Amino acid sequence: MNTIIPKITIVLNVFKRSSVFDLQLHAIRNQSIQPYEILVWENGFEKVPAHLREGLIISESNKNFGVWARFSYALNSEGEYICIFDDDTIPGSRWLENCLSTINSNPGLLGTRGIIFDSKLSYSMYREVGLHNPNERTEQVDIVGHCWFFKKVWLEKFWSEFGNKFPDCMAGEDIHFSYALQKHLDLPTLVPKHPENQLEFWGSLPKFANEFGQDQQSLSLKPKSYKKFEDALQHYRSLGFSTMSEKINTISKHPPIVYWFIQKFPYLFHKIVKLKNNLNFKKF
């Protein structure tokens, strides 16, 4: 008896890293579970190279609509499941297989880089799961980034909160999705297993994440972005988004003045976090 493999739609974005697209597309087309279709959003600056366009569904925009456009474009998919990738994310060959297995046993929004906030008071103090901190089993987190794997029907909840979205086109989509699913479906945000010695299961191969995530195109490295991230968390908390530390009544590790300082000067703190992550990358 043949097993029916659900249709998985991949959504990619070409912004200012078209030179990386070949590598990303190769990794996606060589998954152990083949995607049903690949949608590509040309987000206002660069195009998919001509020799790679065959077999892709491509939409062109002459304006940069930021990080939210991919979730709008995903509404055009025909798959039962959707996986949206950042343009600097190169998955291991069994990532889709890993996600499909995980979501069947543990329904929730999946991603490769998970964040657990240390306190409700600051975005910038957190523990990572997945890409920067391998996990041997599925682990619940507050939000995920670099890629999102989910059921297409859940996009309805994402966009039902359109009137409450964070008012910046370059930040907030990650918290928004976790908030919407928490509010409407009581679904968690999860990171599937990232076994330390089995990189084929990873959603982002650390070799490439370290290289591409540190280049000048990375939004997360721009000084003004950190203030946006801090504001986005407080925006969604004001709407009812509950972090894991709040749910289990975890006492903040530091006095409130520390979190206030981080909110005021988040770029300085993130530079320290990035340095720590880079040191962790060296063992992979």
Question: Residue 1: inside a domain, yes or no?
Answer: no
Q: How many domains does the chain have?
A: 1
Question: Residue 211: inside a domain, yes or no?
Answer: yes
Q: Render each residue's pLDDT in the chain as its tens digit; 284 residues.
A: 457 889 999 999 987 777 889 999 999 999 999 999 999 998 877 888 899 999 999 999 888 888 999 999 999 999 999 999 998 999 999 999 999 999 999 999 999 999 999 888 878 778 899 998 999 999 999 999 999 999 999 999 999 999 999 999 889 999 999 999 999 999 999 999 999 999 999 999 998 887 765 544 455 555 677 888 889 999 999 999 999 988 765 555 666 666 666 666 666 666 655 555 555 544 54
Question: Residue 35: inside a domain, yes or no?
Answer: yes
Range of the domain at 143: 8-281
Question: Residue 27: inside a domain, yes or no?
Answer: yes
Q: Which long-range contacts (CB under 8 A, 24 or more apart) does 60-69 make?
A: 64/15, 64/169, 65/169, 66/168, 66/169, 66/170, 67/169, 67/170, 67/171, 67/172, 67/173, 67/219, 68/165, 68/169, 68/173, 69/13, 69/41, 69/43
Question: Residue 57: inside a domain, yes or no?
Answer: yes
pLDDT digits (tens, 9 = 90+) for 159-198: 999 999 999 988 999 999 999 999 999 999 999 999 999 9
Question: Residue 194: inside a domain, yes or no?
Answer: yes
Q: What is the pTM assigned to this prediction?
A: 0.87
Question: Residue 26: inside a domain, yes or no?
Answer: yes
User: What CATH number should be reported for the domain holding residue 264?
Assistant: 3.90.550.10
Kindly report the length of the chain: 284
Residues 39 and 77: beta-carbon distance below 8 Å: yes
Question: Residue 2: inside a domain, yes or no?
Answer: no
Place of tokens 């990386």: 20
